[in-house]
Structure 1
Amino acid sequence: MAAFLFLLFLLSEAASDLIVVSVHPGEDAILPCRAADVSIRAVEWTRPDLEPPEYVLFYRDGHLDTTHLHPSYKGRVDLVDRHLKDGDVSLILTNVRSQDRGTYECRVASGGFIRTKRAILDSEPIRTIQLQVTGSNSGRDKDENSTHVGLYIGLGVFFALLFLT
């Protein structure tokens, strides 16, 4: 029983690092991210499933850089506060579409930054967000959510039976 409780603790700790934001198609979404260091030179928002070096938003030296911006985000992204007050680097995504569903990563650079093949900033994400687009006409959202819940329940039952027997 102790092993099962420990496993549940580990799963809940891992899940707490991921923030889930749910919106309906057509709404605006704010993806929260705050940097510990307030002397920020650059902010990068990416989606791991986009082809590098394209990104969702790249902001440096007080300006949005659209050089490698993914075409589906043109004119639909901005920072909540371009002054980056108190380290707030949260992303605003307007007119959310079902194709926007996915995992978003936030990175910041305080000093000089290095370009890489995977992303513009060479650092680990400071925040990972799962954007869910609910209420679409396809019904796909409900099916995906049911699948995830069923998977977690199934894994819990499997490990419970494994450790209790």
Structure 2
Amino acid sequence: MQLSIIHLIVVPDQKIITAESGQDVTLTCRAPNNNILVIEWSRADLTDKYVLLYQDGQFVPDDQHPSLKNRVDLQDRQMKDGDVSLILRDVTTADDGIYQCRVFIEGARTWKLVSIINLNVPPGQTGGQEKDEDNKDGGKEDGSVWLIVGLSVSAVLLVIAVLGLLIYRKKHQPSKEHPADQHRKQPLQT
């Protein structure tokens, strides 16, 4: 007689959230009860760094990924009704990834995976704009730059048209010489 042992691991449904660069996003996570000792938000590609680690009523910044410092918070630090949702401020395409919410519950003596969220921040969205070193205001200058270029080109074309018109008129204008002057230019007849 052969005996089989089956370990059933229930993984929560994976949610997909799409956000525009510059937005604040809430990644929802609700644990089954209020006896939460530790909250761990992680992202698979950050390997040994956390998105957020909350223990004994305070954040543990030591192993937090540098790109997330001062950009994450819990929606409810008192975790009422098991709410351990994460707020991620000013998202960029670099925040794109799969986030996991795990809690350590008093009495259970084990970690529980509560939520998996796939955050999608596509490039080129029009909400907020990503900020870079060359364009600190997040891309809002682009429209005014094109406006200035357009107005400059229009002004140059207008000046060329006016000069062309003046030159044309001067070349094709009938001579306005005085009749006495015309008489002097005629050759003497003998």
Normalization by structure 1: what TM-score?
Answer: 0.65
Contact 1:43 1:59 in 2 (8 A): yes
**2:118 match:** 130
- The one-letter code sitting in structure 1 at the alignment partner of 2:113 is P
**2:16 match:** 20
Q: Give the Å deviation of 1:123.
A: 2.9
Q: Give the Å deviation of 1:137.
A: 2.4
**1:145 match:** none
Q: Give the Å deviation of 1:124.
A: 4.6
Report the secondary structure of 1:49's partner residue. Answer: helix
**2:83 match:** 88
**1:100 match:** 95
Q: Pick 1 or 2: higher relative contact order, CA cutoff 8 A, min separation 6.
A: 1
The separation in 2 between residues aligned to 1:20 and 1:67, in whole angstroms, is 29
Q: Give the Å deviation of 1:21.
A: 1.1
Aligned length in residues: 116
Structure 1 residues 113 and 71, CA, compared in 2 at 3 Å: closer, same or farther? farther
Structure 1 residues 92 and 108, CA, compared in 2 at 3 Å: closer, same or farther? same
Q: CA RMSD in A?
A: 2.5
Give the ranges of 4+ consecutive aligned residues of structure 1 lying more than 3 Å apart after TM superposition: none
Unaligned 5+ segments in structure 2 are: 1-11, 126-190
Residue 77 (structure 1) aligned to one of 67, 72, 77? 72
Unaligned 5+ segments in structure 1 are: 1-15, 115-121, 139-165
**1:117 match:** none
1:11-39: CA deviation from partner (whole Å, max 9, x where unpaired): xxxxx811011110000000000000211
The separation in 1 between residues aligned to 2:111 and 2:104, in whole angstroms, is 8
Report the secondary structure of 1:20's partner residue. Answer: strand
Contact 1:42 1:61 in 2 (8 A): yes
Q: Give the Å deviation of 1:112.
A: 8.1
Report the secondary structure of 2:81's partner residue. Answer: helix
Identity of aligned residues (%): 43
Q: Give the Å deviation of 1:126.
A: 1.2
Contact 1:45 1:104 in 2 (8 A): yes
Larger Rg: 2
